Structure 1
Amino acid sequence: MSPGDDDYGNDSGRSNDGYSTLGGTRQTRTRLPDGQGGDGYGPRRPARTSRSLFTVIGVVVLLLAAIAFANMGGGGGGGNGDGDGTPRSEDKKAGSAPTAATGTKPVAGKNGSIPSGFAHDEQGAQSAASNFAVALGSVEMFNSASRQAIVQATHDPAIVEGLVSDLDKAYSPGFLQNVGLNDDGSTPDGLTFVSRTVPVGTKTVEHSGDTATVEVWCTGLAGMAGQGSTKPVTETWFTISEKLKWIGNDWKIESSSQTEGPTPVSGDNRASTADEIAGAVKGYGGFTYAR
Protein backbone atom coordinates (compact mmCIF):
# COMPACT_ATOMS: atom_id res chain seq x y z
CA MET A 1 0.00 0.00 0.00
CA SER A 2 1.12 3.52 -0.42
CA PRO A 3 2.52 5.13 2.73
CA GLY A 4 -0.17 6.43 5.02
CA ASP A 5 -3.26 5.27 6.83
CA ASP A 6 -5.30 4.18 3.83
CA ASP A 7 -8.08 1.71 4.48
CA TYR A 8 -8.00 -1.57 2.55
CA GLY A 9 -11.30 -1.07 0.82
CA ASN A 10 -9.68 -0.65 -2.56
CA ASP A 11 -8.57 -3.62 -4.61
CA SER A 12 -6.64 -1.59 -7.16
CA GLY A 13 -3.24 -2.43 -5.67
CA ARG A 14 -3.51 -6.13 -6.38
CA SER A 15 -1.80 -7.99 -9.16
CA ASN A 16 -1.08 -11.56 -10.12
CA ASP A 17 2.35 -11.30 -8.56
CA GLY A 18 2.19 -12.69 -5.02
CA TYR A 19 5.15 -10.51 -4.15
CA SER A 20 3.69 -7.30 -5.52
CA THR A 21 2.11 -4.54 -3.45
CA LEU A 22 -0.85 -6.83 -2.86
CA GLY A 23 -2.62 -5.45 0.16
CA GLY A 24 -0.25 -2.53 -0.03
CA THR A 25 2.49 -3.75 2.30
CA ARG A 26 5.85 -2.70 0.93
CA GLN A 27 9.24 -3.96 2.03
CA THR A 28 11.49 -1.21 3.40
CA ARG A 29 15.18 -1.21 2.51
CA THR A 30 17.60 0.71 4.75
CA ARG A 31 21.08 1.80 3.64
CA LEU A 32 23.69 1.95 6.37
CA PRO A 33 25.83 5.07 7.03
CA ASP A 34 29.05 5.65 5.05
CA GLY A 35 32.08 3.71 6.12
CA GLN A 36 30.38 0.43 6.90
CA GLY A 37 30.98 -1.18 3.55
CA GLY A 38 33.11 -0.97 0.49
CA ASP A 39 30.55 1.08 -1.37
CA GLY A 40 29.66 3.25 1.60
CA TYR A 41 26.43 1.45 2.34
CA GLY A 42 27.56 -1.79 3.95
CA PRO A 43 27.15 -5.29 2.49
CA ARG A 44 24.35 -5.50 -0.03
CA ARG A 45 21.76 -8.23 -0.03
CA PRO A 46 21.17 -10.23 -3.22
CA ALA A 47 18.94 -8.30 -5.59
CA ARG A 48 15.34 -9.47 -5.80
CA THR A 49 12.81 -8.36 -8.32
CA SER A 50 9.82 -9.39 -6.24
CA ARG A 51 8.19 -7.93 -3.17
CA SER A 52 8.22 -9.62 0.23
CA LEU A 53 6.01 -12.68 0.47
CA PHE A 54 4.54 -11.19 3.60
CA THR A 55 2.38 -9.02 1.37
CA VAL A 56 0.24 -12.15 1.14
CA ILE A 57 -1.11 -11.25 4.55
CA GLY A 58 -2.41 -8.03 3.02
CA VAL A 59 -5.08 -10.13 1.29
CA VAL A 60 -6.76 -10.66 4.64
CA VAL A 61 -6.66 -7.01 5.59
CA LEU A 62 -7.75 -5.95 2.12
CA LEU A 63 -10.90 -8.02 2.31
CA LEU A 64 -11.64 -7.12 5.91
CA ALA A 65 -11.74 -3.48 4.96
CA ALA A 66 -14.09 -4.22 2.09
CA ILE A 67 -16.72 -5.01 4.68
CA ALA A 68 -15.68 -2.31 7.11
CA PHE A 69 -18.53 -0.42 8.76
CA ALA A 70 -16.54 2.68 9.67
CA ASN A 71 -13.15 4.31 9.37
CA MET A 72 -10.61 3.95 12.15
CA GLY A 73 -10.82 6.58 14.89
CA GLY A 74 -8.01 8.66 16.37
CA GLY A 75 -6.58 9.07 19.82
CA GLY A 76 -4.30 7.09 22.07
CA GLY A 77 -3.95 5.33 25.34
CA GLY A 78 -2.96 1.97 26.79
CA GLY A 79 -3.06 -0.15 29.88
CA ASN A 80 -0.70 0.04 32.87
CA GLY A 81 -0.25 -1.91 36.04
CA ASP A 82 1.37 -4.77 37.85
CA GLY A 83 0.96 -8.40 36.84
CA ASP A 84 -2.40 -8.55 38.60
CA GLY A 85 -3.78 -5.56 36.70
CA THR A 86 -3.65 -3.22 39.73
CA PRO A 87 -2.22 0.21 38.87
CA ARG A 88 1.00 1.03 40.70
CA SER A 89 1.45 4.33 42.46
CA GLU A 90 4.22 5.36 40.06
CA ASP A 91 1.94 4.52 37.12
CA LYS A 92 -0.58 7.06 38.36
CA LYS A 93 2.13 9.72 38.23
CA ALA A 94 4.04 9.04 35.04
CA GLY A 95 2.70 5.84 33.45
CA SER A 96 4.57 2.54 33.13
CA ALA A 97 7.43 2.08 30.71
CA PRO A 98 6.07 1.40 27.20
CA THR A 99 8.28 -1.68 26.84
CA ALA A 100 7.23 -3.22 30.16
CA ALA A 101 5.08 -6.34 30.16
CA THR A 102 1.62 -5.63 31.56
CA GLY A 103 -1.63 -7.47 32.04
CA THR A 104 -3.53 -10.00 34.08
CA LYS A 105 -3.44 -13.76 33.72
CA PRO A 106 -4.15 -14.90 30.12
CA VAL A 107 -7.55 -16.28 29.24
CA ALA A 108 -8.15 -20.00 29.67
CA GLY A 109 -10.79 -20.55 26.97
CA LYS A 110 -10.26 -21.41 23.31
CA ASN A 111 -12.31 -21.21 20.14
CA GLY A 112 -10.62 -23.94 18.14
CA SER A 113 -6.91 -23.07 18.33
CA ILE A 114 -7.58 -19.38 19.08
CA PRO A 115 -7.84 -18.07 22.66
CA SER A 116 -11.27 -16.78 23.65
CA GLY A 117 -13.09 -15.39 26.65
CA PHE A 118 -11.26 -12.07 26.72
CA ALA A 119 -12.06 -9.56 29.44
CA HIS A 120 -14.77 -7.01 28.68
CA ASP A 121 -12.38 -4.10 29.16
CA GLU A 122 -9.53 -2.24 27.46
CA GLN A 123 -6.91 -4.86 28.22
CA GLY A 124 -9.17 -7.64 26.98
CA ALA A 125 -9.61 -5.80 23.70
CA GLN A 126 -5.84 -5.47 23.30
CA SER A 127 -5.35 -9.18 24.02
CA ALA A 128 -8.04 -10.12 21.52
CA ALA A 129 -6.59 -7.89 18.80
CA SER A 130 -3.12 -9.41 19.30
CA ASN A 131 -4.38 -12.98 19.09
CA PHE A 132 -6.47 -12.22 16.03
CA ALA A 133 -3.43 -10.73 14.28
CA VAL A 134 -1.46 -13.92 14.97
CA ALA A 135 -4.23 -16.16 13.62
CA LEU A 136 -4.92 -14.10 10.50
CA GLY A 137 -1.22 -14.05 9.62
CA SER A 138 -0.68 -17.79 10.00
CA VAL A 139 0.01 -20.58 7.53
CA GLU A 140 -3.46 -21.96 8.28
CA MET A 141 -5.01 -19.08 6.32
CA PHE A 142 -3.77 -20.73 3.11
CA ASN A 143 -5.96 -23.80 3.64
CA SER A 144 -9.67 -23.45 2.88
CA ALA A 145 -11.04 -25.41 5.86
CA SER A 146 -8.76 -23.88 8.50
CA ARG A 147 -9.22 -20.42 6.99
CA GLN A 148 -12.98 -20.66 7.42
CA ALA A 149 -12.56 -21.77 11.03
CA ILE A 150 -10.25 -18.81 11.77
CA VAL A 151 -12.64 -16.30 10.22
CA GLN A 152 -15.57 -17.73 12.17
CA ALA A 153 -13.61 -17.59 15.44
CA THR A 154 -12.40 -14.01 15.03
CA HIS A 155 -15.14 -12.05 13.25
CA ASP A 156 -18.61 -10.66 13.77
CA PRO A 157 -20.99 -13.46 12.67
CA ALA A 158 -22.88 -10.94 10.54
CA ILE A 159 -19.94 -10.64 8.12
CA VAL A 160 -18.43 -14.14 8.25
CA GLU A 161 -20.27 -15.67 5.28
CA GLY A 162 -19.40 -12.85 2.88
CA LEU A 163 -15.81 -12.66 4.09
CA VAL A 164 -15.23 -16.40 3.71
CA SER A 165 -16.55 -16.22 0.15
CA ASP A 166 -14.28 -13.29 -0.70
CA LEU A 167 -11.25 -15.01 0.81
CA ASP A 168 -11.90 -18.23 -1.12
CA LYS A 169 -11.80 -16.19 -4.32
CA ALA A 170 -8.63 -14.35 -3.27
CA TYR A 171 -6.76 -17.56 -2.41
CA SER A 172 -7.19 -18.89 -5.93
CA PRO A 173 -4.95 -21.61 -7.43
CA GLY A 174 -3.14 -18.94 -9.43
CA PHE A 175 -2.46 -16.86 -6.34
CA LEU A 176 -1.21 -19.87 -4.39
CA GLN A 177 1.16 -20.75 -7.23
CA ASN A 178 2.54 -17.22 -7.21
CA VAL A 179 3.57 -17.55 -3.58
CA GLY A 180 5.21 -20.94 -4.20
CA LEU A 181 2.44 -23.27 -2.99
CA ASN A 182 0.60 -26.02 -4.85
CA ASP A 183 -2.87 -25.36 -6.28
CA ASP A 184 -4.54 -26.77 -3.17
CA GLY A 185 -2.43 -24.67 -0.80
CA SER A 186 -0.09 -27.49 0.17
CA THR A 187 3.68 -26.99 0.27
CA PRO A 188 5.94 -28.55 -2.40
CA ASP A 189 8.02 -31.52 -1.26
CA GLY A 190 11.29 -30.60 0.40
CA LEU A 191 10.24 -27.06 1.31
CA THR A 192 8.72 -25.40 4.38
CA PHE A 193 6.20 -22.59 3.96
CA VAL A 194 6.55 -19.84 6.56
CA SER A 195 3.90 -17.28 7.50
CA ARG A 196 3.98 -15.88 11.03
CA THR A 197 2.81 -12.63 12.56
CA VAL A 198 4.42 -11.64 15.85
CA PRO A 199 2.84 -8.77 17.83
CA VAL A 200 5.42 -6.41 19.31
CA GLY A 201 3.00 -4.13 21.15
CA THR A 202 -0.58 -2.88 21.32
CA LYS A 203 -2.26 0.49 21.79
CA THR A 204 -5.89 1.33 22.46
CA VAL A 205 -7.03 4.06 20.10
CA GLU A 206 -10.63 4.07 21.32
CA HIS A 207 -12.58 2.12 23.92
CA SER A 208 -16.16 2.71 24.96
CA GLY A 209 -18.30 -0.02 26.45
CA ASP A 210 -18.93 -2.61 23.74
CA THR A 211 -16.61 -1.17 21.06
CA ALA A 212 -12.87 -0.67 20.80
CA THR A 213 -10.24 0.22 18.22
CA VAL A 214 -6.84 -1.33 18.87
CA GLU A 215 -3.58 -0.96 16.97
CA VAL A 216 -1.19 -3.92 16.96
CA TRP A 217 2.42 -3.25 15.97
CA CYS A 218 3.79 -6.41 14.37
CA THR A 219 6.74 -8.01 12.70
CA GLY A 220 6.17 -10.86 10.31
CA LEU A 221 8.06 -13.71 8.66
CA ALA A 222 7.00 -15.15 5.34
CA GLY A 223 8.52 -17.12 2.50
CA MET A 224 9.57 -20.58 1.46
CA ALA A 225 12.44 -22.24 3.35
CA GLY A 226 14.50 -25.17 2.13
CA GLN A 227 16.99 -26.13 -0.56
CA GLY A 228 16.03 -24.78 -3.96
CA SER A 229 13.63 -22.13 -2.66
CA THR A 230 13.27 -19.14 -4.97
CA LYS A 231 11.17 -17.20 -2.44
CA PRO A 232 13.36 -16.79 0.67
CA VAL A 233 11.88 -16.03 4.07
CA THR A 234 11.89 -12.28 4.76
CA GLU A 235 10.71 -10.05 7.58
CA THR A 236 8.25 -7.16 7.41
CA TRP A 237 7.07 -4.56 9.93
CA PHE A 238 3.53 -3.22 9.93
CA THR A 239 0.68 -2.00 12.15
CA ILE A 240 -2.83 -3.49 12.05
CA SER A 241 -5.80 -1.46 13.28
CA GLU A 242 -8.74 -3.60 14.36
CA LYS A 243 -12.20 -2.26 15.12
CA LEU A 244 -13.69 -4.65 17.67
CA LYS A 245 -17.23 -5.23 18.91
CA TRP A 246 -18.42 -7.09 22.02
CA ILE A 247 -20.58 -9.96 20.70
CA GLY A 248 -21.67 -13.10 22.53
CA ASN A 249 -19.54 -12.35 25.60
CA ASP A 250 -16.33 -11.93 23.62
CA TRP A 251 -14.54 -9.47 21.33
CA LYS A 252 -14.93 -9.94 17.56
CA ILE A 253 -13.48 -8.09 14.56
CA GLU A 254 -15.88 -5.72 12.82
CA SER A 255 -13.34 -4.21 10.41
CA SER A 256 -9.58 -3.89 9.99
CA SER A 257 -6.89 -1.96 8.13
CA GLN A 258 -3.10 -2.07 7.86
CA THR A 259 -0.22 0.39 7.45
CA GLU A 260 3.51 -0.09 6.92
CA GLY A 261 5.99 0.19 9.82
CA PRO A 262 7.25 1.49 12.15
CA THR A 263 10.34 -0.28 10.82
CA PRO A 264 13.62 -0.41 12.78
CA VAL A 265 17.09 -0.31 11.20
CA SER A 266 18.22 -3.79 10.23
CA GLY A 267 20.93 -5.25 12.47
CA ASP A 268 24.25 -6.82 11.54
CA ASN A 269 23.08 -10.42 11.90
CA ARG A 270 24.25 -12.83 9.24
CA ALA A 271 21.39 -14.13 7.14
CA SER A 272 20.80 -17.82 7.86
CA THR A 273 20.69 -20.46 5.16
CA ALA A 274 17.39 -21.79 3.84
CA ASP A 275 17.92 -25.06 5.72
CA GLU A 276 18.63 -23.22 8.99
CA ILE A 277 15.41 -21.25 8.63
CA ALA A 278 13.43 -24.39 7.83
CA GLY A 279 14.88 -26.10 10.90
CA ALA A 280 14.03 -23.14 13.12
CA VAL A 281 10.44 -23.02 11.90
CA LYS A 282 9.98 -26.73 12.59
CA GLY A 283 11.79 -26.55 15.93
CA TYR A 284 10.23 -23.40 17.37
CA GLY A 285 6.47 -23.33 17.61
CA GLY A 286 4.63 -20.06 17.11
CA PHE A 287 2.71 -18.35 19.91
CA THR A 288 -1.03 -18.85 20.21
CA TYR A 289 -1.41 -16.15 22.87
CA ALA A 290 0.00 -12.64 22.76
CA ARG A 291 0.07 -10.02 25.55
Structure 2
Amino acid sequence: MGTGFEHSNLGAVSAGVSYWEDLDLLDDVLARKQWKAIAAADSPGTVDQGVSEVRKVREGVGLPPSGGTPDGITFSTSVKAALGRSLDKTGDVVVVWLNYDRFATIRDKGADDNPLRDETTSLVLKWESGDWKVTTDPQWTAKVKGPHAYDPDSKYAWLDGWRQVSDD
Protein backbone atom coordinates (compact mmCIF):
# COMPACT_ATOMS: atom_id res chain seq x y z
CA MET A 1 0.00 0.00 0.00
CA GLY A 2 1.25 3.44 -0.83
CA THR A 3 1.80 5.82 2.06
CA GLY A 4 3.28 9.25 2.61
CA PHE A 5 0.81 11.31 0.60
CA GLU A 6 0.96 15.08 1.04
CA HIS A 7 -1.35 16.90 3.42
CA SER A 8 -3.64 18.48 0.83
CA ASN A 9 -6.83 17.72 -1.06
CA LEU A 10 -4.71 16.39 -3.93
CA GLY A 11 -2.82 14.19 -1.47
CA ALA A 12 -6.09 12.78 -0.13
CA VAL A 13 -7.34 12.07 -3.66
CA SER A 14 -4.02 10.43 -4.57
CA ALA A 15 -4.17 8.28 -1.43
CA GLY A 16 -7.76 7.24 -2.18
CA VAL A 17 -6.90 6.25 -5.75
CA SER A 18 -3.80 4.34 -4.64
CA TYR A 19 -5.62 2.51 -1.85
CA TRP A 20 -8.57 1.51 -4.05
CA GLU A 21 -6.34 0.24 -6.86
CA ASP A 22 -4.00 -1.66 -4.52
CA LEU A 23 -6.46 -3.39 -2.17
CA ASP A 24 -6.37 -7.17 -2.52
CA LEU A 25 -9.73 -8.62 -3.50
CA LEU A 26 -9.24 -12.34 -2.79
CA ASP A 27 -6.55 -12.86 -0.12
CA ASP A 28 -8.15 -12.10 3.24
CA VAL A 29 -4.84 -12.28 5.17
CA LEU A 30 -3.19 -9.74 2.85
CA ALA A 31 -6.35 -7.60 2.87
CA ARG A 32 -6.25 -7.48 6.69
CA LYS A 33 -2.63 -6.23 6.58
CA GLN A 34 -3.52 -3.63 3.97
CA TRP A 35 -6.58 -2.37 5.85
CA LYS A 36 -4.57 -2.18 9.11
CA ALA A 37 -2.06 0.03 7.31
CA ILE A 38 -4.68 2.46 6.03
CA ALA A 39 -7.43 2.42 8.70
CA ALA A 40 -7.78 5.39 11.05
CA ALA A 41 -7.40 4.81 14.79
CA ASP A 42 -11.02 5.93 15.36
CA SER A 43 -12.32 3.22 13.01
CA PRO A 44 -11.23 -0.22 14.20
CA GLY A 45 -14.23 -1.82 12.47
CA THR A 46 -12.89 -0.67 9.10
CA VAL A 47 -10.39 -3.53 9.03
CA ASP A 48 -13.01 -6.20 9.76
CA GLN A 49 -15.40 -4.63 7.26
CA GLY A 50 -12.73 -4.70 4.52
CA VAL A 51 -11.84 -8.33 5.26
CA SER A 52 -15.53 -9.24 5.31
CA GLU A 53 -15.92 -7.81 1.80
CA VAL A 54 -13.01 -9.97 0.59
CA ARG A 55 -14.60 -13.05 2.11
CA LYS A 56 -17.93 -12.26 0.41
CA VAL A 57 -16.13 -12.00 -2.94
CA ARG A 58 -14.36 -15.32 -2.27
CA GLU A 59 -17.62 -17.09 -1.48
CA GLY A 60 -19.29 -15.42 -4.47
CA VAL A 61 -16.78 -17.04 -6.83
CA GLY A 62 -16.96 -20.44 -5.14
CA LEU A 63 -13.84 -20.27 -2.95
CA PRO A 64 -13.60 -21.06 0.75
CA PRO A 65 -14.22 -17.93 2.86
CA SER A 66 -10.57 -17.64 3.89
CA GLY A 67 -7.32 -18.17 2.03
CA GLY A 68 -4.93 -16.80 -0.52
CA THR A 69 -5.52 -15.86 -4.10
CA PRO A 70 -5.71 -19.01 -6.23
CA ASP A 71 -2.86 -19.46 -8.68
CA GLY A 72 -3.67 -18.09 -12.10
CA ILE A 73 -6.30 -15.52 -11.08
CA THR A 74 -5.54 -11.82 -11.05
CA PHE A 75 -7.71 -8.77 -10.55
CA SER A 76 -6.94 -5.23 -11.56
CA THR A 77 -8.78 -2.10 -10.53
CA SER A 78 -8.37 1.00 -12.62
CA VAL A 79 -9.65 4.29 -11.22
CA LYS A 80 -10.73 6.46 -14.15
CA ALA A 81 -11.82 9.60 -12.32
CA ALA A 82 -11.79 10.99 -8.81
CA LEU A 83 -13.28 13.83 -6.83
CA GLY A 84 -12.24 15.02 -3.38
CA ARG A 85 -14.35 17.16 -1.06
CA SER A 86 -13.46 18.33 2.41
CA LEU A 87 -15.88 17.36 5.15
CA ASP A 88 -14.48 19.85 7.67
CA LYS A 89 -13.16 23.42 7.67
CA THR A 90 -9.51 22.38 8.06
CA GLY A 91 -9.33 19.99 5.10
CA ASP A 92 -8.20 17.20 7.44
CA VAL A 93 -11.18 14.97 6.56
CA VAL A 94 -11.93 14.43 2.86
CA VAL A 95 -14.41 12.22 1.05
CA VAL A 96 -12.83 10.86 -2.12
CA TRP A 97 -15.25 9.66 -4.78
CA LEU A 98 -13.84 7.12 -7.24
CA ASN A 99 -15.15 5.98 -10.62
CA TYR A 100 -13.45 2.74 -11.63
CA ASP A 101 -13.37 -0.41 -13.74
CA ARG A 102 -12.36 -3.82 -12.36
CA PHE A 103 -11.17 -6.74 -14.45
CA ALA A 104 -10.29 -10.37 -13.72
CA THR A 105 -7.89 -12.50 -15.69
CA ILE A 106 -7.75 -16.27 -15.42
CA ARG A 107 -4.74 -18.11 -16.79
CA ASP A 108 -5.61 -20.25 -19.81
CA LYS A 109 -9.08 -18.65 -20.01
CA GLY A 110 -8.17 -15.05 -20.74
CA ALA A 111 -9.77 -11.83 -19.68
CA ASP A 112 -13.00 -11.36 -17.81
CA ASP A 113 -15.97 -11.40 -20.18
CA ASN A 114 -18.11 -9.46 -17.70
CA PRO A 115 -15.90 -6.89 -15.94
CA LEU A 116 -17.23 -4.24 -13.60
CA ARG A 117 -17.36 -0.96 -15.50
CA ASP A 118 -18.15 2.57 -14.40
CA GLU A 119 -18.56 1.64 -10.74
CA THR A 120 -18.56 4.46 -8.20
CA THR A 121 -17.55 4.29 -4.56
CA SER A 122 -16.15 6.61 -1.92
CA LEU A 123 -13.60 6.54 0.87
CA VAL A 124 -13.54 8.99 3.75
CA LEU A 125 -9.94 9.86 4.55
CA LYS A 126 -8.68 11.56 7.68
CA TRP A 127 -5.26 13.17 8.17
CA GLU A 128 -3.73 11.20 11.02
CA SER A 129 -0.13 10.65 12.17
CA GLY A 130 1.30 12.19 9.00
CA ASP A 131 -0.75 10.29 6.44
CA TRP A 132 -4.25 9.83 5.06
CA LYS A 133 -6.21 7.06 6.78
CA VAL A 134 -9.62 5.58 5.97
CA THR A 135 -12.25 6.41 8.58
CA THR A 136 -15.73 5.02 9.01
CA ASP A 137 -16.49 7.24 12.00
CA PRO A 138 -20.21 8.11 11.76
CA GLN A 139 -19.38 11.74 12.60
CA TRP A 140 -17.81 11.95 9.12
CA THR A 141 -19.68 9.35 7.08
CA ALA A 142 -22.98 11.06 7.93
CA LYS A 143 -21.73 14.17 6.11
CA VAL A 144 -21.05 12.37 2.83
CA LYS A 145 -23.34 13.56 0.05
CA GLY A 146 -23.09 12.17 -3.45
CA PRO A 147 -21.83 14.32 -6.32
CA HIS A 148 -23.17 14.37 -9.85
CA ALA A 149 -22.44 11.05 -11.54
CA TYR A 150 -19.16 10.89 -13.41
CA ASP A 151 -19.24 10.99 -17.19
CA PRO A 152 -16.14 12.04 -19.13
CA ASP A 153 -18.25 14.22 -21.44
CA SER A 154 -20.43 15.85 -18.80
CA LYS A 155 -19.87 19.53 -18.10
CA TYR A 156 -21.82 19.04 -14.86
CA ALA A 157 -19.43 16.34 -13.63
CA TRP A 158 -16.50 18.63 -14.51
CA LEU A 159 -18.08 21.57 -12.69
CA ASP A 160 -18.77 19.29 -9.71
CA GLY A 161 -15.03 18.58 -9.51
CA TRP A 162 -14.56 15.19 -11.15
CA ARG A 163 -11.11 14.85 -12.74
CA GLN A 164 -9.77 12.04 -14.88
CA VAL A 165 -6.99 9.97 -13.34
CA SER A 166 -3.91 9.41 -15.46
CA ASP A 167 -2.52 5.91 -15.92
CA ASP A 168 1.02 7.28 -16.05
Specify the TM-score bucket, using the shorter chain as the normaliser: 0.5 to 0.7
Structure 1 length as normaliser, TM-score?
Answer: 0.41
Confirm whether residue 262 of structure 1 aligns to residue 147 of structure 2. no
2:9–2:94 Cα contact (<8 Å) kept: no
Q: How does 1:158-177 map to 2 (within 5 A)?
A: 158-160=42-44, 162-172=45-55, 175-177=57-59
Q: Cα deviations across residues 94-150 of structure 1 (Å, max 9, x unaligned)?
A: xxxxxxxxxxxxxxxxxxxx22222212221221222122123xxx23212211111
Confirm whether residue 252 of structure 1 aligns to residue 133 of structure 2. yes
SS at match of 1:208: coil
Counterpart AA for 2:92: T
Residue of structure 2 in register with 1:84 after alignment: none
Q: Identity across aligned pairs (percent)?
A: 19
Aligned counterpart for 2:98 among listed residues 207, 214, 217? 217
SS at match of 2:22: helix
Structure 2 length as normaliser, TM-score?
Answer: 0.64
Aligned counterpart for 1:152 among listed residues 25, 31, 36? 36
Identify if the C-alpha distance between structure 1 residues 168 and 233 changes in structure 2 by more than 3 Å, giving closer, same or farther: same
SS at match of 1:158: coil
Computing the radius of gyration from Cα coordinates, the structure with the larger value is 1
Aligned counterpart for 1:133 among listed residues 20, 25, 42? 20
SS at match of 2:5: coil
1:205–1:215 Cα contact (<8 Å) kept: yes
SS at match of 1:157: coil
SS at match of 1:146: helix
In the TM superposition, residue 165 of structure 1 has moved relative to its aligned partner by: 3.0
1:219–1:236 Cα contact (<8 Å) kept: yes
- Please list every run of 5 or more consecutive structure 2 residues that lacks an aligned counterpart in the other structure: 154-165
RMSD over aligned Cα, in angstroms?
Answer: 3.6
Q: How does 1:88-99 map to 2 (within 5 A)?
A: none
Counterpart AA for 1:120: H
Identify if the C-alpha distance between structure 1 residues 263 and 121 changes in structure 2 by more than 3 Å, giving closer, same or farther: closer
Confirm whether residue 205 of structure 1 aligns to residue 92 of structure 2. no
Aligned counterpart for 2:61 among listed residues 159, 179, 195? 179
- Please list every run of 5 or more consecutive structure 1 residues that lacks an aligned counterpart in the other structure: 1-113, 266-288
Residue of structure 1 in register with 2:162 after alignment: none
SS at match of 2:42: helix
Mapped to 1, the partners of 2:128 and 2:49 lie a distance apart of: 23
Question: Which has the larger share of strand?
Answer: 2
